[in-house]
Structure 1
Amino acid sequence: MAETHERIFYEVMWRSWTAKGDSPSPVPWWLQQAFHRWTDSFDAGSFESKEGALASNALYRYWSMVGVKDHRQESLVGQAGEIEPVYDKYSVAFLLYEPSSGALRLPQLPGPGGSVEQRMEAAHLPVVETVFRTGTGFEVTQRTLATTVGVRQRDLVLNRLSVTAGADAPRDGWLCVAVLPAGPSGFQRHYRGAAQDTDRRLTLLRYLPQEARVVTNTGWGPVFDRAPEQYGVYGNPDFSQDPGSYLVRSPFHELTVGGKLNGADEATDQVAGMCTGVFAWPFRLEEGESFSLDVRLPVDTYSGADDLAELRSAPADDLEAANREFWTRKLTQEGVQPRLPAPVAHLADLFRQTRGQLLVLSDSGQIHPGPTVYDSFWIRDSSVEATACSLAGDTALARAQLGTHHRGAFNFGRGRIGPCAEYGFFGGQHEKDDQEWDSNGQALWALGRFDRTQGPGAAFGAGLYNPYILGGARWLRDNRDQYGLLHSGWSAEHLGERDKPHYWDDIWGLAGLYEAARLAERLGTPEVGELWWAFDDMKRATAASMRWVLDEQSRRGEWETFLPTGPGDVGRLDSTMIGAAAYFHPCRLHMGSKLGDDIDRAARFTLDTLYGHFVRGGYRHEAAWNAYGPYLTLQLAHACLLAGDPQRMDDLLGWTVGAGTPVARGQRAALGAWNEQHAFPIASDFAEFPDRFWYMGDMPHGWAAAEYLLLVRDILFFEADEDRDPHLYIAPGVRPHWVPDGETVSVSDAPTLFGAPFGYRLTHDTAARTVTVDIDQSPPHLRYVYPCRFGPVRTATAGGRTLDVTGADVQVPPGTRRFSVRYA
């Protein structure tokens, strides 16, 4: 049954949407999508009612994000420029009022001749620019950024608004800032089983004219650099439960009907929590002139006159310049810098942007997979994210995540977690509650890979070996079922039911045990034999189970070869089997056919089956999410790259890049970020609408950002067989259409698993049908493989010597600094 505030919110928003031009109000983009194609179907397992699901924004979780590196709280930016500091009880939006016509101009409803555009500054900096053209000659530009101020470097969002007038624009107008209860993420995130709701209700709204700032409930709201000349706040003074009263007691209604605001400085609403305020700055412009306003949103905790003075202490121009300098240096001068030709230059911009997203999503070095519902720590997500950060050059963040927060998640208790021992388990409350048995393998894998990247001089693994790595490996050895597999559990939620075992867990367990045993070898510890025994025992059990499943499916007449999500799912050919992609990426069990040649072949056939059944541009995960999976698509793309299928990789990558900037009904829904799930309606611009509810996670999704960084890095180069025959693949995923004549692909100062940086330049001469590679940096004594993607190799030379060619692979000996390949 819907709660009162959910019912009123639903009715007010629906009536506001249907009124549109008659009584316009700023209905957010996500609500417009829901009302455009309404469905009564909702997830009754998560929500009490359809109104509760709507208020929680369960279907259209798209937005952009700004934030400060390593600070706790991010702020969201909606499609019309609405700003929502995630843990504060309000959002902010801008609008225009034209006194001469009495018209209210809302970016949420641009109207005839109007438009709204958004972009990231310089295509990759975490500054969101929103441009609203009214269709009557006015243009409003909003730049939104997060930065710090004062000696304590506390957070704020700086919102910079500027209005210009064209030749035909009215001279007079009001630039308005609205304080609203609903933001890009929703109104109230309230669902069954939640330990804590995200409640955005505004029960008190107060304006303090002497300080030019707003109070929302018990916290600080926006602070204006100049006081408004007109203002009004609106609530529900008589405790009405009639949704219609909210439409009349509204600043938008009063501006439209009477051209004024009520001048009240305090309002309450103890019924629905939907207090609203509008603050206005009249202006008079000639053609080409502009009017500007700066609004500061305090994100950290501020209180008292001294804090207010500190919040205002730095000029807005200085704050913006310092923010731009910091992020430009961090993203374009530090860390890995891929340089790509014009046809794919956007991939390099997106590489920098996703790096920035992970830096913003880190809280004092603890990387979180999202800014709202996933703003907490998971071993699984953070293992992949930390590894991506380390290989992208953000080493300090990776060291803090793995050396501090992973270590802090190691359990020393002597109790039980379901069927397993507590001691030695890597995991916090998430992992314990859902029995996520993949986490130990992921932690050991990430710790071992980072130790490799840092090199022996850093002694990173030595500092964590005992008790953390050794204890985590022994946990994997001792906590398995009667078949030698990890127990049933939920692990990654895309795998299916929690009452069944999943090969995903065992694949990760093997990757983790392999890294633990190799680290023990590098350190020369006495447990080397013990750890290899644990790896071999788990390998035997996993391979035997997979062989049994494959044989049973063959016996039943299955003509396609595939590994299902687990041994309890024999013959289950659905999208949960995407977990098998981890065999290739990130776990790389195919290198050296670690489970045997027959399992390796079956895993490769599984990629074919996955692609044939579930790829329609991207990976469709209808079995669990009823939505596309952006990070699953990137995982599959990466698996295809490592399995030697760069064409499928390129196709999947192209779809995923487009999914980061979807357009729905003519409006950009996001700017280079991915949800955990990408809704079918948005992916198809409402050409496809499911007949049942779907699931939507957070945005931007840190795991998806990490997968993109890892994929682009491995497209440029990746390591192979690092423990027996160390070599490196150069440009294995660079496609011919990426590199026009005379163009160059390059990367420099890139960390490697060999503990030393790598860099090269690849140049293409189309007339001569020649590719030339210059190796600028390289770990010592390393051989290379260049898989030529431009055409069959005719000759390959280095320093006057002919190089061996195996199929399309040019074999390049250690010490080579330049080689050339001529193709047919």
Structure 2
Amino acid sequence: MARTHEWMFYEVMWRSWADRARVPYPVPWWAQAAFRRWSDDFDAGTYESKEAAFSSNALYRYWHMVGVKDHRQESLIGQAGEIEPVYDKYCLAFFLYDPASGTVSVPQLTRCGTVGQRVQAPHLPVIETAFRAVDGLGFTQRTFAVPVGARQRDLTVTRLRVTGPGGPAREGWLCAAVLPAGPTGFQRHDRRDAGATDRRLTFLRYLPDEARVETNSGWGPLFDTPPEHYGVYGNPDFSSDPAAYLARSPFHDLAVGGKLNAALQAQDQVAGLCSAAFGWPFRLADGAVFEVDVRLPVDLYSGSADLAEIRATPATELEEDHGRFWAAKLLGQGVQPALPDPVAHLADLFRQARGQLLVLSDHGEIHPGPTVYDSFWIRDSSVEATACSLVGDAALAEHQLGTHYPLRFNRGTGRIGPCAEYGFYGGPHERDDHEWDSNGQALWAIGRFDRTAGRAAAFGAKLYTPYVIDGARWLRDNRDGYGLLHSGWSAEHLGERDKPHYWDDLWGIAGLYEAARLSERLGTPQTRELWGAFDDLRQATAASIRWVLDEQRRRGEWETYIPTGPADVGRRDSTMIGAAAYFHPLRLHMGSKLGDDIDRAARWTLDTMYARFVTGGFRHEAAWNAYGPYLTLQLAHAYLLAGNAARMDALLGWTVAASQPRVDDRAVALGAWNEQHAFPVASGFAEVPGRHWYMGDIPHGWAAAEYLLLLRDILFFEADEDRDPHLYIAPGVRPHWVPDGETVAVDSAPTLFGAPFGYRLAHDAAARRVSVDITGAPEQVRYVYPCRFGTVRAVSADGRQVPVAGDDVHLPAGTRRFEVDYA
């Protein structure tokens, strides 16, 4: 049964949207999308009613984000410029009012005008929204987040500039509205999280002496210029009629009566749908502009001293400081891929993804999302930290792995399901859902970072006892009768939690491999013990996979594929995506660590998935009923490492487009991915599933990390770090990426060899020649250049001819320049 406030919110939104011919109301984009193809079907396992699912915005979780690096709280920006500080109980939106005609123009409704949105620059987390009303008046809104004051607390700033169409002088009002619903929804309330923060707006007050709004018990927006008009609205007579909310609103008062109610305070103890509006009259003539700055305190503030601190620095100075910080961070530090014009957008997205991970870091913990995923997972963070370490944000990776991983290392003597508590990596997520992949991920990430940081950093030595050795022993000692890790949920895209998943075992193998190699590097006495644990899990996993493959052949399966686990023989659905981890990020194919037959089966599994579950991107209908952006990136990366750059390129192209979807000429996202990309949004509403689907967070930190890792490995990646160390140069750079005379370059990029690498590749199409200059390299590392432009005819290295043996050009360590002629 729907709760009163959920039912009321649903009715108010529905009636406002359905009665579009009368009073405009700022119905958010996600609500309009839900009404566009409404279905009474909802996820009854998660929500108690359709109204609860609607209020939680279960289906269209798309928005933009601003925030401060390494701080806790982000602000989310809607498709019409609405600002929702994540943990505060209000949303701030802007609109225009023409008192002469009584016209209210809200950017949310396409009939009121056009909206354009963009990220101001790839390295700047500034969201710019431009609204142009039907009558020609418009405003531009820039929103960003900065730290202020001695304590460097968070503040979101939005700056508005009103412009006219030219010609005669124009008059109107720029208006701000404080509303209960924002880009994420009205109230997240589901069966699993019954104690979720209550986002109802039950009390609202405007303090004109301070030009400040109070929302419930917190601080709302502060206006640098006090508004001349204001009105605060609630439900004073405790009405249970949705029509009363529509008639008692600032939009109704402006459209019908031409003024706001001038009330300073209101409450709504029925539905928590208080609202307010504020107006600044303007007159535009001779190209004049009208500007208003608004500040949203998204940290803990109280008292007059904090109010003075928030207002102390002019907004222009805050914006300039913000620009300088991010330019220094994302343009002056870290990996700077230089790509030709046809793919320059890939480098832009690379910088955006870096910025997203830095914003999603909460005091060194990278969280995979700003709302429902705003907490710490070992699984996500292992990939995120590794990505940060390889693109130049090593300090963040070191803090995450060196500080926060030990805090998740369990020291108790109890049990977690069928497993021992001591030695298990995990907080509430891993413990409650039996996510047995976490130990392998922790050991893998620690080992990889130890390689990248280099011997002098001694990172692995600092964590070896007890965090590496006892974490490895946990993997050795907590397995089922077949030698595999127990049944559990682990990554939710794998299927049911009451079954075992090879994903866990593959991660365990990779983690034990890194632990054993770390032991070798440190010279500890546990090396043989660790290699024994590695071999035991490796052999058990390989034996189980062989049994599954044999059983599927016995049943008449003509395709070869590794299903999600041994309990899923013959399960030919998209949960088999877990097998992509064999290649990326685990690289178990290097050296065929599970055997040549398993290696072949893993490669054929990629092809089975591509044939059955890829329509542009990876369709994950078995668990999510949606596209999987980070799963598509994993599959693309697996194909890169398996040597199929063409399929990698196709999957990458879809994923880049999926980061910037548009519906009805509105930008739904601006260079970011959800965990799930809804079929309706991906298809422009040409495909709307007949059943509900799952939606996670955006930006998704794991997806951002996968993109960083893929683009970096497209430029170069390491192989066989322990026996025959070598680098693949430009393995994913496609011929159409590099027109005649163009170059690809990367400089001083961190590597798993503990020393930076850089090169510059130039293409001379007329001569059919590729020239590569090595600008920095680790010692005693040879190179492989897989030529993608054509059949290799001749190779020279530092002026000497090199034998040609296929299109993979092998070059000795120490090479400074080589040239490849192709046919």
TM interval, short-chain normalised: over 0.9
Give the structure 2 partner of residue 42 of structure 1.
42
Give the structure 2 partner of residue 691 of structure 1.
690
Give the structure 2 partner of residue 451 of structure 1.
450
Give the structure 1 partner of residue 244 of structure 2.
245
- Does structure 2 retain, via aligned residues, the 8 Å contact 1:386–1:398? yes
Residue deviations 1:436-480 (CA, integer Å, cap 9, x gap): 000000000000000000000000000000000000000000000
CA shift for structure 1 position 136 = 1.4
Q: How does 1:66-145 map to 2 (within 5 A)?
A: 66-111=66-111, 114-145=113-144
User: Which amino acid letter does the alignment assign opposite residue 37 of structure 1?
Assistant: R
User: Which amino acid letter does the alignment assign opposite residue 30 of structure 1?
Assistant: W
Residue deviations 1:729-779 (CA, integer Å, cap 9, x gap): 000000000001111100111100000000100011111111100000100
CA shift for structure 1 position 170 = 6.0
Give the structure 2 partner of residue 642 of structure 1.
641
Give the structure 2 partner of residue 713 of structure 1.
712
Give the structure 1 partner of residue 761 of structure 2.
762
Give the structure 2 partner of residue 538 of structure 1.
537
Q: Report the 3-state secondary structure (helix = DSSP H, G, I; strand = E; otherwise coil) of the residue aligned with 1:796.
A: strand
After TM superposition, the score normalised by the length of structure 2 is: 0.99
Give the structure 2 partner of residue 382 of structure 1.
381
Give the structure 1 partner of residue 275 of structure 2.
276
Give the structure 1 partner of residue 199 of structure 2.
200
Q: Report the 3-state secondary structure (helix = DSSP H, G, I; strand = E; otherwise coil) of the residue aligned with 2:134.
A: coil
Q: Report the 3-state secondary structure (helix = DSSP H, G, I; strand = E; otherwise coil) of the residue aligned with 1:706.
A: helix
User: Which amino acid letter does the alignment assign opposite residue 631 of structure 2?
Assistant: L
CA shift for structure 1 position 591 = 0.1
Residue deviations 1:234-266 (CA, integer Å, cap 9, x gap): 000000010000000000000000110000000
- Does structure 1 retain, via aligned residues, the 8 Å contact 2:123–2:326? no
- Does structure 2 retain, via aligned residues, the 8 Å contact 1:110–1:134? no
Distance of 2:148 and 2:238 partners within structure 1: 40
- Does structure 1 retain, via aligned residues, the 8 Å contact 2:494–2:501? yes
Give the structure 2 partner of residue 51 of structure 1.
51
- Does structure 2 retain, via aligned residues, the 8 Å contact 1:86–1:371? yes
Distance of 1:804 and 1:577 partners within structure 2: 41
User: Which amino acid letter does the alignment assign opposite residue 768 of structure 1?
Assistant: A
User: Which amino acid letter does the alignment assign opposite residue 34 of structure 1?
Assistant: A
Give the structure 2 partner of residue 481 of structure 1.
480
Distance of 2:603 and 2:453 partners within structure 1: 32
Residue deviations 1:139-187 (CA, integer Å, cap 9, x gap): 2000000001111111000000000111257610100010000000000
Distance of 1:180 and 1:609 partners within structure 2: 49
Q: Report the 3-state secondary structure (helix = DSSP H, G, I; strand = E; otherwise coil) of the residue aligned with 1:231.
A: strand
Distance of 2:21 and 2:738 partners within structure 1: 50
Give the structure 2 partner of residue 214 of structure 1.
213
Residue deviations 1:287-312 (CA, integer Å, cap 9, x gap): 42100000000011111111000000
Q: How does 1:187-586 map to 2 (within 5 A)?
A: 187-194=186-193, 196-586=195-585
Q: How does 1:583-662 map to 2 (within 5 A)?
A: 583-662=582-661
List gaps (5 residues or longer) in structure 2: none
Distance of 2:136 and 2:51 partners within structure 1: 39
CA shift for structure 1 position 138 = 1.2
Q: Report the 3-state secondary structure (helix = DSSP H, G, I; strand = E; otherwise coil) of the residue aligned with 2:111.
A: coil
Q: Report the 3-state secondary structure (helix = DSSP H, G, I; strand = E; otherwise coil) of the residue aligned with 1:694.
A: coil
CA shift for structure 1 position 55 = 0.1
Distance of 2:745 and 2:3 partners within structure 1: 57
- Does structure 2 retain, via aligned residues, the 8 Å contact 1:92–1:180? yes
- Does structure 2 retain, via aligned residues, the 8 Å contact 1:137–1:169? no
Distance of 1:451 and 1:265 partners within structure 2: 59
Q: How does 1:719-738 map to 2 (within 5 A)?
A: 719-738=718-737
CA shift for structure 1 position 712 = 0.2
- Does structure 1 retain, via aligned residues, the 8 Å contact 2:563–2:575? yes
Give the structure 1 partner of residue 812 of structure 2.
813
Change (3 A) 1:698 1:637: same
Please state if 1:746 is matched with 2:745: yes
Residue deviations 1:366-415 (CA, integer Å, cap 9, x gap): 11000000000000000100000000100110001000001110000000
List gaps (5 residues or longer) in structure 1: none
Please state if 1:157 is matched with 2:165: no
- Does structure 2 retain, via aligned residues, the 8 Å contact 1:379–1:439? yes
CA shift for structure 1 position 805 = 3.2
- Does structure 1 retain, via aligned residues, the 8 Å contact 2:793–2:804? no
User: Which amino acid letter does the alignment assign opposite residue 108 of structure 2?
Assistant: Q
CA shift for structure 1 position 124 = 3.6
Give the structure 1 partner of residue 11 of structure 2.
11
CA shift for structure 1 position 801 = 1.4
Distance of 1:705 and 1:417 partners within structure 2: 31
Q: How does 1:661-676 map to 2 (within 5 A)?
A: 661-676=660-675
Residue deviations 1:541-565 (CA, integer Å, cap 9, x gap): 0000000000000000000000000
CA shift for structure 1 position 21 = 3.5
Change (3 A) 1:247 1:720: same
Please provide the CA RMSD for this pair. Answer: 0.8
Change (3 A) 1:480 1:56: same
Q: Report the 3-state secondary structure (helix = DSSP H, G, I; strand = E; otherwise coil) of the residue aligned with 2:389.
A: helix
Distance of 1:247 and 1:612 partners within structure 2: 51
Residue deviations 1:417-452 (CA, integer Å, cap 9, x gap): 000000000000100000000000000000000000
Residue deviations 1:647-694 (CA, integer Å, cap 9, x gap): 000000000000000011221100000000000000000000101000
Distance of 1:167 and 1:290 partners within structure 2: 11
CA shift for structure 1 position 111 = 2.0
- Does structure 2 retain, via aligned residues, the 8 Å contact 1:660–1:672? yes
Distance of 2:538 and 2:804 partners within structure 1: 34
Give the structure 1 partner of residue 185 of structure 2.
186
Distance of 2:6 and 2:798 partners within structure 1: 73
Change (3 A) 1:726 1:169: farther
CA shift for structure 1 position 195 = 5.5
Distance of 2:818 and 2:443 partners within structure 1: 38
CA shift for structure 1 position 110 = 3.6
CA shift for structure 1 position 804 = 3.1
- Does structure 1 retain, via aligned residues, the 8 Å contact 2:123–2:331? no
- Does structure 2 retain, via aligned residues, the 8 Å contact 1:435–1:491? yes
Distance of 1:368 and 1:785 partners within structure 2: 36
CA shift for structure 1 position 28 = 0.3
- Does structure 2 retain, via aligned residues, the 8 Å contact 1:564–1:571? yes
Distance of 2:612 and 2:213 partners within structure 1: 54
- Does structure 2 retain, via aligned residues, the 8 Å contact 1:176–1:278? yes
CA shift for structure 1 position 808 = 1.2
- Does structure 2 retain, via aligned residues, the 8 Å contact 1:124–1:350? no
Q: Report the 3-state secondary structure (helix = DSSP H, G, I; strand = E; otherwise coil) of the residue aligned with 1:111.
A: helix
Q: Which runs of 4+ in 1 moved over 4 A?
A: none
- Does structure 1 retain, via aligned residues, the 8 Å contact 2:122–2:351? no
User: Which amino acid letter does the alignment assign opposite residue 501 of structure 1?
Assistant: P
Distance of 2:598 and 2:811 partners within structure 1: 30
User: Which amino acid letter does the alignment assign opposite residue 162 of structure 1?
Assistant: R
- Does structure 1 retain, via aligned residues, the 8 Å contact 2:513–2:534? yes
- Does structure 1 retain, via aligned residues, the 8 Å contact 2:563–2:576? yes
After TM superposition, the score normalised by the length of structure 1 is: 0.99
Moved more, 130-139 or 669-678: 130-139
